[in-house]
């Protein structure tokens, strides 16, 4: 079912630096907060300035009672750098919620995320109300501020860092087969680097459980008109990440 969409100016309530080049922005936007689903996203635009195009941002938290949305993003270019300089009281324009979210009809999912891919999984974990576990990875301990964010919402957290400074040394998906052997989970929900999601999908298939993945592609409109975010689907068609996704069942987009 398509969600209602809004284009609204939203006031920034807080802007916090979480790690090097990583920020958490909270805005007041009750219309979008009231209908957003885990896995959906917004297109954010600066009001004024020389950054004209919108930037897609996954929704990390939506507090319906307060009417707030939170976004966790990494500064990668001119647009996100401009976002990071905004202070409470400033306004941005939001178009959303866009896309289709994660499956909510699960009993005990395992969330698998790496880097900024953990952002939409946080919203999902909150809605699962302690029914989910999370397997998360990062380059080093300084990037693993996520552990405290997820702690109130998951039963267990499994950690891996590339340099071994926190949790197991290596990639998060290296721990996945052993976790799935327990037979406790009814699905894998993955978001992060594409190669990580492909491996997670393979391992979930081998364990006989479904897997959903959230794709990230550059996009302009976010509404399915410009076709810039199209990807090849397994059935030979083309799928629009912004409109048909960003969440897909793994077999839809991975061979």
What is the percentage of the chain residues whose pLDDT exceeds 90?
81
Residue 76 has pLDDT above 70, yes or no: yes
Residue 1 has pLDDT above 70, yes or no: no
Q: What is the pTM of this model?
A: 0.94
- Joined together, the tokens standing for residue 131 give 């029914």
Residue 221 has what pLDDT?
67
Residue 114 has what pLDDT?
94
Angle at 228 between CA 225 and CA 229, to 5 degrees: 100
**Beta partners for 68?**
28, 63
DSSP 3-state of 204: helix
Residue 220 has what pLDDT?
67
Q: What are the residues whose beta carbons fall under 8 Å from the beta carbon of 117, sequence distance 6 or more? A: 190, 191, 192, 193, 196, 214, 216
User: Side-chain half-sphere of 142: how many Cα atoms within 13 Å?
Assistant: 6
Residue 75 has what pLDDT?
96
Q: How confident is the model at residue 74 (pLDDT cuts 50, 70, 90)?
A: very high
- Joined together, the tokens standing for residue 249 give 């069942």
With beta carbons less than 8 A apart as the criterion, state whether 92 and 10 touch: yes
**Mean pLDDT for the stretch of residues 174-188:** 96
With beta carbons less than 8 A apart as the criterion, state whether 10 and 94 touch: yes
Q: Taken in order 148, 241, 109, 67, is the CA torsion positive or negative? A: positive
Cα 146 from Cα 142, distance rounded (Å): 10
Question: How many helical (H) and strand (E) elements, i.e. helices and strands, does the chain have?
Answer: 7, 16
Give the alpha-carbon dihedral of 23, 170, 136, 156, to 10 degrees: -140
Residue 251 has what pLDDT?
96
Residue 153 has what pLDDT?
97
Full set of structural domains in the chain with CATH: 6-98 (2.40.30.10), 109-253 (3.40.50.80)
Residue 227 has pLDDT above 80, yes or no: no
Phi, psi of 92 (to 5 degrees): -130, 160
Burial class for 49, CB neighbours closer than 10 Å (0-12, 13-18, 19+): exposed
Residue 219 has pLDDT above 70, yes or no: no
- Joined together, the tokens standing for residue 128 give 């699962």
Q: How confident is the model at residue 230 (pLDDT cuts 50, 70, 90)?
A: confident
Q: How confident is the model at residue 218 (pLDDT cuts 50, 70, 90)?
A: confident
Residue 224 has pLDDT above 80, yes or no: no
pLDDT digits (tens, 9 = 90+) for 104-142: 999 999 999 999 999 999 999 999 999 999 999 999 999
Residue 49 has pLDDT above 80, yes or no: no
Q: How confident is the model at residue 196 (pLDDT cuts 50, 70, 90)?
A: very high
**Mean pLDDT for the stretch of residues 171-190:** 95
Over the chain, what is the mean pLDDT?
A: 93
pLDDT digits (tens, 9 = 90+) for 12-30: 999 999 999 999 999 999 9
Q: How confident is the model at residue 222 (pLDDT cuts 50, 70, 90)?
A: low
Residue 26 has what pLDDT?
98
């Amino acid at each position: 079912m398509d969600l209602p969409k809004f284009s609204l100016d939203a006031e920034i309530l807080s802007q916090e630096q979480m790690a090097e080049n990583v920020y958490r922005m909270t805005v007041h936007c009750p219309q979008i907060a009231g209908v957003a689903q885990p896995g959906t996203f917004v297109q954010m635009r600066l009001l004024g300035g020389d950054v004209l195009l919108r930037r897609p941002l996954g929704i990390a938290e939506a507090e319906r009672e307060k009417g707030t949305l939170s976004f966790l993003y990494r500064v990668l270019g001119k647009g996100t750098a401009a976002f990071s300089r905004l202070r409470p009281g400033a306004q941005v324009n939001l178009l959303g919620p866009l896309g289709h979210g994660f499956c909510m009809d699960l009993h005990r999912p395992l969330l698998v995320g790496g880097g900024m891919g953990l952002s939409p999984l946080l919203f999902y974990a909150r809605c699962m109300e302690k029914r989910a576990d999370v397997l998360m990875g990062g380059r080093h301990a300084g990037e693993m501020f996520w552990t405290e964010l997820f702690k109130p919402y998951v039963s267990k957290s499994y950690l891996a860092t590339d340099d071994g400074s926190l949790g197991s040394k290596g990639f998060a998906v290296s721990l996945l087969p052993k976790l799935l052997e327990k037979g406790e989970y009814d699905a894998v929900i993955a978001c992060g680097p594409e190669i990580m999601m492909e491996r997670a999908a393979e391992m979930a298939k081998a364990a006989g459980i479904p897997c959903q993945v959230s794709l990230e592609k550059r996009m302009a409109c976010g509404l399915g008109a410009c076709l810039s975010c199209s990807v090849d689907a397994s059935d030979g068609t083309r799928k629009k990440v912004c409109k048909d996704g960003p969440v897909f069942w793994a077999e839809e987009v991975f061979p």
